[in-house]
Amino acid sequence: MNRIEKVMRGITEKNEKAFIPYIMAGDGGLDALPQQITFLEKAGATAIEIGIPFSDPVADGPVIQAAGIRALQEGTTLKAVIQTIAAVRPIVHIPLIIMTYMNPIIAYGIEKFIEDSYLAGVDGLILPDLPFEEEGLIAPIAEKSGIEIIRLVTLTSPLERIRQIASKGRGFIYAVTVNGITGARKGFDEQVGEHLKRVKSVSALPVFAGFGISTPSHVEEMNRYCDGVIVGSKIVELFEKNDLLGIEELVNVQIVK
C-alpha cells in the first residue's frame, strides 16, 4: 500500500484533518531541504508537497514564483531534488509528493523520472498543467510503480467531470479554492464551501482544499467542509523569514478535538 493511501486511511479512522505544507525545493539552497522536511514531519504534517523550480510556473503566485527564482539561482535541478529526497527518505516516514510541471519531466525522460522518483521514495505527483485527458502520458507508468497521481478539480469543474476525476487513484483530491494562481488571500468566496461539499459528495477519496489558505482561521474554515488543507505560499514565506513557530501554529490547527 502506498504511503499516501495508508496515511489517508489513518486520518479517516482517527477523525483527524490533514495538513500538507508546500515547500520550494532549493529555496535557500538544496542543503536546506532535508532540514525543512524533517522539521515539518516533527511539527505534525500529514505529508509534504515538494515544489520543483520552473521558469514558467503557470499556477504559481508571486511568493512561490519568487521562491522558484531563488532556487533556480541556486542551481536547483529536478535530478538534484530527487537525489536529495533519496538521501532524506530513510529518516522520514510521511508521504513526500513532488509538485512540478510536465516540461521538466519530459526533458528528464518520463520513464527515467518515474524510475528515479520511485527509487528515491517519492509517493505522489501533482502536475497542474497536465489535463485529465492527457494523463495517459505518465499516470499508468507512475501508478504501476506505486506513485500516486494527485488530481485537481477547480471551482469551474462540472460535477460530472469532478466525479470522473475522483474515480481515479487511491490518494486524495486536490480541490482548488480560488479562480486563479496560488497566494495568500484575506478570505474566500461564499461558493467555496458549496464547491468543497459538492466535491465531497461524489468522491470516495479524501478531499483537500488548496490555494489561498494562509491563516489558522482559513484552515479552520476549510476543515468544516473537507478532509484537510494544503498550504503553500504562507509556508514558503514563513520559511524565508525563519518563522518556525508560525509554521507550527498553522500545522497544529489540523487536529479535530
Tens of each residue's pLDDT in the chain, 257 residues: 799 999 999 988 888 999 999 999 999 999 999 999 999 999 999 999 999 999 888 778 889 999 999 999 999 999 999 999 999 999 999 999 999 999 999 999 999 999 999 999 999 999 999 999 999 999 999 999 999 999 999 999 999 999 999 999 999 999 998 765 454 445 566 788 899 999 999 999 999 999 889 889 999 999 999 999 999 999 999 999 999 999 999 998 854 43
pTM of the model: 0.94
Longest dimension (CA), the chain: 46
Detail the DSSP E strand segments found in the chain. Answer: 18-24, 48-51, 96-99, 124-126, 148-153, 173-176, 207-210, 228-231
Side-chain half-sphere exposure of 78, counting CA atoms within 13 A: 21
Please give the positions annotated as active site: 49, 60
Domains of the chain: 3-251 (3.20.20.70)
Query: C-alpha angle 29/32/35, rounded to 5°?
Result: 170
Helix (H) or strand (E) holding 73: helix 62-73
